[in-house]
Structures are given as C-alpha cells and as structure tokens.
A and B are shown apart, each in its own frame.
Chain A
C-alpha cells in the first residue's frame, strides 16, 4: 500500500529523478553489492514466519499441536476450513468491526484533518496536542483506561465498545494523513471555484474532496489495517466478544489448529492482492 501512494503522490518540489544523474551502466561497487545482499537477506528474514505460517497450513497434525511436519494435506483449505465455528465467527467479527471502524474513523478523521490543515483557529494547538497524544499513547494504556472507564460508567463491554475503541485510535491516524494531504493543496484552485460562483458545499464536494481523496483513501486503508489486526486494545475492551486476533491468542495456549494458518494466509493473500491492485490502478491513472 505504501508503494502505491509513493507512486501516486504529486511532488511539488519535483526533485531530479534519482537514477538519472548517474551513468546508466556503472560498475557496482563492492559496498553497493553488500548492501544489495543485505537487503535481500532482511527481506527473507522478515518473510520467514510468514512462510512457516503458510507452510503449516498444509500440515496434517496428529494432535492438537501443529509444530512438526506430519503430512501434506489440502483439507484445511477446503472442506475443513470452517470446521471450527468459533474461529469463523471470530473472523466475521473482525471483518465487521474493521469495516465499521474504518467508516467511522474515516469520516471523523477526514473532518478533523481538513480543519487542522486548512484553517487556523483557536484551540488548534490543543487539538494537535490531543491527536499527538492519542497516537503516541501506548496501547496498553489506551486499552486499560477504556476498560476501567467502562467499569466505572457501568457500560457493558461488547462489540459496541470494541468499535468505539477502534474508531478512537484510528481517527487520529486518518486525521494526520488527511491533514498532510490538505497541506499540499493549492488554495488558488478553490478560490477559482469560488470566483466562478460555487457555494461552499459545492466547492467542497467537487473541488476539495477529489483533491484530498488519495489522502482519505490512504487514511481509510490505514484505519482498516490497524483495526483488523488490533490485539491489545481489543483484549481490554471486548468483554465476551471475540475477534480473530483474540481467538488466536486464547487458542494458542492450547495449540493452533491449521485452520488458523489457512485464514492467516488468506488474509495475507487478500491484502497483498489489494495492494498490488491499488498500485496497478494508480500507475494506470498516472500514466
């Protein structure tokens, strides 16, 4: 996803293209080659657990524990994939929460981002401070403070509190993303629209919004990624509601069944495909 926005973002300063000042065919220095191999080594190291997760989704374990290879099978990808109803439910819960949290955080965060980026007003400092604190605050603190808040306010923990918590911590990220985008906007375009007689709502809808849309989408994708993977804050605020990371955690005390590996691999593949697709789309749009 980052790759995509990198390509897509306009660069007002327009620096010189990086590679062009060097001769096209140059001898690779030793240092450069070392760095090249180092990069690849790190990519492999980073991918190692993922490879293990995917590989063991094809394992056929004898007992509860899926850590030694005992035989190849496709059954956990096919007929047995939804054999654990609680896991499937937890997965559904995660997706629904992520969608709801993304929607909420995107709307609220975009509004804040626009406010902070375009206008100057009293209380802006405080607002920046709070955004900052929200992003900087450790998840343990966010989670435990919300948990005790619900306890003192006699609010039942469940999916509403989980969604509320997710919207809360995602919204600052969206706000920052949108704000950065808004800061790069050329105000003369909006002034031109106003000069041509567009009202504020029309200006917003037809001029501002499309221009900041890449930032909004980037913020939304960020919110979705944060929400679907969130563990610590959700653990404190979920009550008896179970999401996919929470389910993995509680079952890991016992041994992960291969279905978890399969679902993890599927989520991974979907994310990858999505990122590739966005990158292709943006490349086509830029071309």
Chain B
C-alpha cells in the first residue's frame, strides 16, 4: 500500500468549478467517443462458432488410424488430474519415469469438470495447446461436450495392451463412450451420503436424512447440476435413467423445498470435505473414496459413508487426451501404465475408488496378508479394504446406483442445467 501524496489526495477532495475548461468531458469529446465506439462495434459481431459437423464413430476411428502413426515419442508428459486421486507420494509416477524415461508434470488442477472445461475449451477452439496432454474428465456434460466439439483425440487401442487384457467393462462405460473411442476409465466412484459421527448419533440409511429438519443448517449438498439432480430424483422416487423433463421438474421442486426450509448450509464442490471435517456441516452428499482418505489422514474414523437405500450415483472419471496435445504418445503410454495390475493396485489402495482393472481385487487380498502392509498402508487398512462394498460393490449396491442424466441435445442440456443451477445460484 502506498502513495498518500497529499497533493494528489487534495485533488481528490477539492471541488471543481468548471468542468469543461479543466479537461472535463465536453460535447465534442462525447461525439468523438461515440464515433470511436461505433467503429469498434463492427468488431463486436464476431460470433463464436460451434461444431463444424458431427463425427460418427466410424469417422473417429478413421481419424485415429490417420493420426497416430504420425506421432513421435517425446520425453515429457503434462497430466491434469483431480486432487487426492493418486498415491500421495506419487510412487506410481516415479516408477513410470523409471520404466519409460518420460518425465511427468502432474498437476492437480481439476476442481470440477465445469471450470476445467471452461478453461480448456477456449484454448482448443483457438487451435492452441491447452498445456495438458492427459486429463481426467467425469462422464457428464463436459465429457459429451468434448466429444461433440471434437476437442478430444480418438484413441488407438493398439497402444493399450494392458487395457485390452485387464479392463473390466461392468460399469457401463459403454453408454457414454461406446467402444472406448476417446477415453479409458481412471476410477469410478459412488456419490452417497457422508456424516460426522461426532454430531450425528443415529444410523444413516435413507436419503430422507438430507431433508431432516433436525439437521437444518448443517446439511451440505453438491453444486454440480448432475449430482444434485440425481439426488433430487432419488428423493422424488424417480429413476434417473428413464427420467423426462417432467421428472426433472419434480426433482427441482423437491430440492427447492429443501432449500426454502433453510435445511442446506451451502452447495459445495469438493470443498464439502473441508466443511465436514471442520464441523461446519454434519451430513452431506459425498464421494466414496474421499471419506476413506480423510479418515486415513486424520487417523480416526469420525466420518462414515453410505449409499442411500433410494439410490446413489455411480460415475466414472476417464483419462482423455485433449486436442493439440504435444505429447500424445506419452499420454497413451501413461493410460496403459495405469492398467498394469501392480500399479492399479497401488493407486486403488491409496484412493479407495473403484478400479476398472480386474486383477486388483485379488492383488489387494494378497497385500492384506502381508504383516507390514503394502504401498504405504498398514495391514488393518488393507484388510478393511478387501471386503469394502465401496471399492468392490456387491450386487446389492450396484443394483441401486445409477448414472448421471446426460441429455445429448444441447438445448435440452441447457434447460437441464438452468433448472438445477437456479437452485444453487439463488
């Protein structure tokens, strides 16, 4: 802070007698300004273009066949990911560098899909490198947008031997990316309800607790329209997979009523975890692996997680390569690296999200037999992990989780977003 020059400040506080003479705005000045403005208004008609044309899967595969042989290997990789989504000391990345010689710049810059998409979309439109070669995007609107706007590079599955051998397809990733044209899963997770056992003494099983007036002002909900919508639909007893506009309106009404009764403290992005740990909220919508990791790092079991009886949301975060990536070959290598069973096990043990690599379950069981634990975790934690319904969901859980509602038509998508944004923005 600087500069309280009295002379200047005097100028600030003095009265001015005749504006025109002392350089104020005269009529002439106004005309000139108007002229200049009119000239620049011509510039303002620059439209923002949309899709050039729709690309069918066959065309995308042809593009891939055309694109990949031309790419050369490079020694670097810029990897954008969410926070707390990899083993904390990055051992998996270090081993990758040892094995391939590629140095990895790992950036935990993704806080939610919306803002990340808003950052990279303009860059790709202007034909520029986004700064990232590999990114992890959830199977929601942004994923669909990236594919429709042709802002992701179709993959060459010939370069993914581990994926071909080990990947599991039971989490229905087929629906949002048939044939894994553009992505391979990084991890899957479930959105359910988390609570702080220090303040909530009763057992939690139903979604109704989020609407319970007893906890007014201590309830957290998520900001993301797709997350919020699903919970509204579950509360209204509707299956998101088959929901229509009328159903969405019902869900919005239920959520609006929750808001109007002052039950919700705030609508959070990943910061719900901070609020929950601090005690600002006692119950909240939450992501399965986050709760485990928080308990792990805090050294206690204060936080608990459950998938409500009415339903939970299952989502998949996927590795994709943005267009104009400068190190695409490195990106493909990294994608395949995380399907190596030992690496996948390392990551899953640490983040406790659902893996798409099939040997992981048995490998974790093996690690749980080791007295000294493995991959930075002790034996007790590993044993708890083996049977965890969150990381290896049994049919009972799988039966009641649903995907996001993702309308593909842009106008419907806009309506959907606006409907649920109105609740969080209000």
Contacts and interface: CB of A to CB of B under 8 A. Distances in A.
Contacts, number: 155
Contacts of A3: 4
Interface in A4-23: 4-6, 9, 11-12
Contacts of B123: 156-157, 239-240
A86 to B, nearest CB: 6
Interface string A178-191: 01110110000000
Interface string A254-282: 11000000000000000000010000000
Nearest to A238: B119
B46 A152 contact: yes
B297 A5 contact: no
A156 B119 CA distance: 10
Given A65-B274, A86-B108, A154-B125, A5 B23 contact: no
B393 interface: no
B2 A4 contact: yes
Given A154-B126, A252-B271, A221 B2 contact: yes
Interface stretch (A48-56, A93-101, A119-127): A119-127
Contact of A11 (B6, B46, B108): B6
Contact of A240 (B1, B119, B278): B119
B269 interface: yes
B229 to A, nearest CB: 21
Contacts of A65: 274, 277-278, 298
Contact of A253 (B2, B24, B126, B269): B269
Interface string B4-43: 1111110100000000000111101100110000000000
A9 B294 contact: no
A219 B298 contact: no
A253 B23 contact: no
B73 interface: no
A4 B128 CA distance: 46
B84 A2 contact: no
Interface SS of chain A: helix, strand, loop or mixed? helix
Contacts of B296: 63
Interface string B215-243: 00000000000000000000000000000
Select the residue from B47, B109, B269 with max chain A CB neighbours within 10 A. B109
A153 B47 CA distance: 10
B34 to A, nearest CB: 10
- Count chain A CB atoms within 10 A of each CB in B6, B132, B294 and give the residue with the most: B6
Contacts of A156: 123, 126, 128-129
Contacts of A104: none
Chain A contact-residue range equals 35 or more
B32 A153 contact: no
B29 A126 contact: yes
B271 A254 contact: yes
B274 A253 contact: yes
Contact of B109 (A12, A242, A252): A242
A211 interface: no
A11 B123 CA distance: 52
Interface centre among B5, B111, B132, B270 (most CB of A within 10 A): B5
Which 6 A-B pairs give the minimum distances between C-beta atoms?
Answer: A180-B8, A1-B2, A63-B297, A240-B131, A218-B3, A154-B126
